[in-house]
Amino acid sequence: MNRIKELRNEKGLLQSDVAKYIGKSERIVGFYENGERDPNTDTLLKLSELFDVSVDYILGKTNTKNTKSISLDDIDIAFASGIRGLNKENQETLKDIMKGLLAKQELENQEED
């Protein structure tokens, strides 16, 4: 879990600070940072809150730290409903456009960091 150490250092926190927040020992935090142990779901959620990043970012499944900007709202609902009315070819075209926009946003987010 090298991202935990990376995030901790970015925030200027000590292992003891993280340990206190998540209710674990410094030694356990060290194990997480060195990949010797994996945090459970509850701990991942606490780390996500502490560092203001997604659990997927901590796990290395995405390079986007925070996906709060991508939320379910009226446009998302309309998009999800509307895509079903398109033929398969147009559905794929629309999906590709969305993937491109999300990739562009991720790059912009990385450049800001």
Helix/strand/coil (H, E, C) string of 5-57? HHHHHHHCCCHHHHHHHHCCCHHHHHHHHHCCCCCCHHHHHHHHHHHCCCHHH
Is the pLDDT at 1 greater than 60, yes or no?
A: no
> Confidence class of residue 100 from pLDDT cuts 50, 70 and 90?
confident
More confident residue, 95 or 112: 95
Is the pLDDT at 68 greater than 60, yes or no?
A: no
The per-residue pLDDT for range 40-64, each reduced to its tens digit, is 999 999 999 999 898 888 998 888 7
Give the whole-number percent of the chain exceeding pLDDT 90: 44
